[in-house]
Amino acid sequence: MSGFGESPEPLVNSYVSLVAARADEARQRIAHAQKLSGAPQVVTLVAVTKTYGVDAVQAAWACGIADIGENKVQEAEGKMNAIALPVRWHLIGHLQRNKARQAVRFNLIHSIDSYRLALAVNETAAAANRVQPVLVQVNVSEEATKGGFATSDVAAFADQLSKCNNLSVTGVMTMAPFNATEAVLRTVFAGARNVAEQLRVAGHPATELSMGMSGDFEIAVQEGATLVRLGTVLFGNRASS
């Protein structure tokens, strides 16, 4: 029990060491998944700090995580403006076209889910004289509740994207169904891998595979994930919103 008048500092340190211990465990699980399957790729851990405060970003940074994922532009901007750490910001949630202007503040946008959105981001990036790295979001299992392209639509979209000179299509993002079996997870992640291959054939760099969350990242890594997006395993359960 903390006594009256005690400095709050030990509490802060204990939060950082808690996150550090969880990050270590996540890294070990990633390394183990790679060893099991011989997966050779470099895997970047993206700490998903949505719903948490800037203290979560600071804790991630303190334990060597430089990639931060947020699912809402406005919430992310609040944190960007509040801290000066040189973290890389990832937008992992659905992006509304009217927020495309702010979205170019992100190092990587994972959620390009329509041609209209691609055009809006391309236009903003052009105005900012910048080539914006983006991922194409694919809805491999075609769940009605999830955004993203059906895999059968990717070939046509890949050609359209070639006209967006201010976008660099560096890969694919997908989300697997919640509570899916291992077999389904593997099918979904392999589907995303195939989409990345299609994008490369169409001339896009597309080497990144953003897939795997707290419940399924080991399978995702075995299937080739290069970016895993981890929230709960690092920061604990989010309050439901």
Ligand X SMILES: *Cc1c(COP(=O)(O)O)cnc(C)c1O
CB of 131 to ligand X, least distance (A): 23
Q: Which amino acid, 17?
A: S
Q: Provide the token pair at 181.
A: 């079996």
Q: Could you tell me if 228 and 189 are in contact, meaning their C-beta atoms sit under 8 angstroms apart?
A: no
Q: Are 143 and 173 in contact (CB under 8 A)?
A: no
Q: CA-CA distance, 110 to 172, in Å (whole number)?
A: 7
Binding-site member from 100, 121, 213, 225 for ligand X (CB under 6 A): 213
With beta carbons less than 8 A apart as the criterion, state whether 157 and 114 touch.
Answer: no
Q: Which helix (H) or strand (E) holds 33?
A: helix 9-37
User: Rounded to 5 degrees, what are φ and ψ at 184?
Assistant: -65, -45
The stretch among 23-31, 100-108, 157-165, 228-236 that binds ligand X (CB under 6 A) is 228-236
- Compare residues 39 and 92 and give the one whose CB is closer to ligand X: 92
Q: Which stretch binds ligand X (CB under 6 A): 112-120, 123-131, 208-216, 218-226?
A: 208-216
CA distance 125 to 117: 12
* Residue 146 binding ligand X, by CB under 6 A: no
Considering only 18, 77, 93, 194, the residue that binds ligand X (CB under 6 A) is 93
* The only residue of 24, 201, 232, 236 in contact with ligand X, by rule CB under 6 A: 232
Q: Does 135 bind ligand X (CB under 6 A)?
A: no
CB of 232 to ligand X, least distance (A): 3
Residue reference for tokens 């990633």: 30
Nearer to ligand X, 41 or 232 (CB): 232
Q: Give the total residue count for the chain.
A: 241
Select from 160, 164, 135, 140 the least CA-distant residue to 152. Answer: 140
Q: Which is closer to ligand X, CB of 78 or CB of 93?
A: 93
- Using CB under 6 A as the binding rule, whether residue 214 contacts ligand X is answered as yes
230 binds ligand X (CB under 6 A): yes
Size of the site for ligand X (CB under 6 A): 13
Give me the residue whose beta carbon is nearest to ligand X.
231
- Which of 133, 191, 224, 231 binds ligand X (CB under 6 A)? It is 231
> Could you give the angle at which helices 154-161 and 182-201 cross, rounded to 10 degrees?
40
Q: Does 45 bind ligand X (CB under 6 A)?
A: no
Q: Among 27, 50, 102, 108, which residue sits at the site for ligand X (rule: CB under 6 A)? A: 50
The bridge status of strand 44-48 relative to strand 227-230 is: parallel
Report whether 172 contacts 210 (CB < 8 A): yes
Interface segment toward ligand X; rule CB under 6 A; list 21-29, 32-40, 53-61, 213-221: 213-221
30 versus 230: smaller Cβ distance to ligand X: 230
- Chain residues binding ligand X by CB under 6 A are 48, 50, 71, 92-93, 175, 213-215, 229-232
